[in-house]
Amino acid sequence: MDRISELLQQHQAVVVDVRTPEEYTNGHLPESINIPIDQLNNRLGELKLMSNIIVCCASGMRSKKARLLLMQNDINCIDGGSWLDIHKHLNN
């Protein structure tokens, strides 16, 4: 989590929230972008242009799957787990 905090505090990361649009609307990290996990394959080209990607979701399950998918497509990223954990960590 320290690496994630460092990247976010220095505004050097892109947070990709892989939850559904409805979940995202109900709360998300500031400046995060919502790409639901079922749309990741269609947006690989866009994601390849990003650096320091942190994927997150509600509990950490979808972010693990998202990280695996991205890594299989040569897109380096960090699994941030739950967006709430990242949010709490940044606000402490």
**Global pTM value:** 0.94
Strand ranges across the sheet with 53-57:
33-34, 14-17, 53-57, 77-82
Per-residue pLDDT of the chain (92 residues; tens, 9 = 90+): 688 988 988 889 999 999 999 999 999 998 999 999 999 999 999 999 999 999 999 999 999 999 999 999 999 999 999 999 999 877 76
Q: What tokens appear for 12 in the block? A: 């050097």
- Looking at CATH, the fold of the domain delimited by 2-90 is given as Oxidized Rhodanese; domain 1 (3.40.250)
pLDDT score, position 92: 65
Q: Please state the domain extents for the chain.
A: 2-90
